[in-house]
Amino acid sequence: MRNLYAIYRKEMGHYFVSPVAYVVVGVFLILSGFFFSRIMEAVIQEALEAAMQGMQFGGAMPVDVPGIVLRGFFNVISFFLLLFTPALTMGVYAEERRRGTMELLMTSPVTDEQIVLGKFFASLSLYIIMLLPTLCYAVYMFLHSDPAPPWKLLFASYLGAVLLGGALLAVGSFLSSLTESQLIAAILTFGVFIILWVIEFAARGGSGDLSALFQYLSVTRHFDDFSRGVIDTSGVIFYVSLAVLGIFLTMRSVDSMRWRRA
């Protein structure tokens, strides 16, 4: 446990002295802030129009403004994650391999599992730190909207974002362990994420087992449930198993570094 913490601590320290983390988190926050305000404006506009129509013709349907805004916002976030998480994980192993520090870790009394888990939890922490500031949008809505935004929707959306992020980080770390080049790691990861995303389109319109399988494998489709406020066990299981698979493969890959020609 102490070893795992030592690795975790080192990784966190690394994130906060290197410019990569600041750039990734900064750009993510700027873009998400921009999209949040655009989405909110658009939804309020629609809600006003609907209300005016309701007044003209009677029987107005109340529009759930905060709910729609949150849903739209989290759909954008889930898309951003596919773009930004590769940058968080690209260096995790590739850089250590290139610098030869992997040799230090692997000749220290630290198990491969401790190395992999320490690194995974560090990247997950950084990712949660990246998401945290977006909570202020929710606070803003609680202060200014009537009806108040639904708690359950907010909670489910953040839970979904953390689960999705965890799965993507685990897969990204694995891909980083395959190469010594950060750039190759980033491009590989990006490619795999895009495939995991568009696989849903391939399934659309089709029927049968294959199409159902593709639908199940799409990383963003499960996220839709969360952003609708539904905590679906199948979604939770999907993300957790994807993360566990990624972590397991990383452990195998780290172990195999010993068997490859140096």
User: How many Å apart are CA 35 and CA 32, to the nearest integer?
Assistant: 5
Is residue 248 classed exposed, middle or buried when 0-12, 13-18 and 19+ CB atoms within 10 A define those classes?
Answer: middle
Least distance to other proteins, CB of residue 14, Å:
7
Supply the DSSP symbol for 147: S
Q: Is 1 in the site for other proteins (CB under 8 A)?
A: no
Q: Is 100 in the site for other proteins (CB under 8 A)?
A: yes
Closer to other proteins at the Cβ: 4 or 70?
4
Q: Which amino acid is at 170?
A: A
End-to-end Cα, the chain, rounded Å: 29
Q: Is 83 in the site for other proteins (CB under 8 A)?
A: no
Number of residues forming the site for other proteins (CB under 8 A): 27
Closer to other proteins at the Cβ: 21 or 65?
21
Which region among 8-16, 85-93, 144-152, 224-232 touches other proteins (by CB under 8 A)?
A: 8-16
Instruction: Return the residue of 23, 42, 52, 104 that touches other proteins, per CB under 8 A.
Output: 104
**Residue labelled with tokens 């990861």:** 189
HSE on the CB side for 245, CA within 13 Å?
A: 9
Closer to other proteins at the Cβ: 110 or 124?
110
**Residue labelled with tokens 């490859």:** 260
At residue 234, φ and ψ (nearest 5 deg) are -65, -35
Instruction: Return the residue of 60, 103, 147, 195 that touches other proteins, per CB under 8 A.
Output: 103
Which residues, including other chains, have CB under 8 Å from residue 16's CB and lie 6 or more apart?
none
Q: Is 99 in the site for other proteins (CB under 8 A)?
A: yes
Buried b (16+ CB within 10 A) or exposed e, 148-176: ebeeebbebbbebbbbbbbbbbbbbbbbb
Helices (H) and strands (E) in the chain, counts: 12, 0
Q: Is 14 in the site for other proteins (CB under 8 A)?
A: yes
Q: Which pair of structure tokens corresponds to residue 132?
A: 């945290």
Instruction: Return the residue of 29, 106, 202, 245 that touches other proteins, per CB under 8 A.
Output: 106
Query: What x-and-dash track marks residues 214-243 binding other proteins by CB under 8 A?
Result: ------------------------------
Instruction: Return the residue of 68, 83, 110, 236 that touches other proteins, per CB under 8 A.
Output: 110
Least distance to other proteins, CB of residue 119, Å:
13
For residue 192, give Cα distances in angstroms to 55, 113, 116, 187.
Answer: 50, 24, 20, 9
Q: Is 181 in the site for other proteins (CB under 8 A)?
A: no
Instruction: Return the residue of 1, 17, 61, 143 that touches other proteins, per CB under 8 A.
Output: 17
Least distance to other proteins, CB of residue 20, Å:
11
Q: Is 6 in the site for other proteins (CB under 8 A)?
A: yes
Residues that bind other proteins (CB under 8 A): 2-3, 6-7, 9-10, 13-14, 17-18, 99-111, 258-259, 261-262
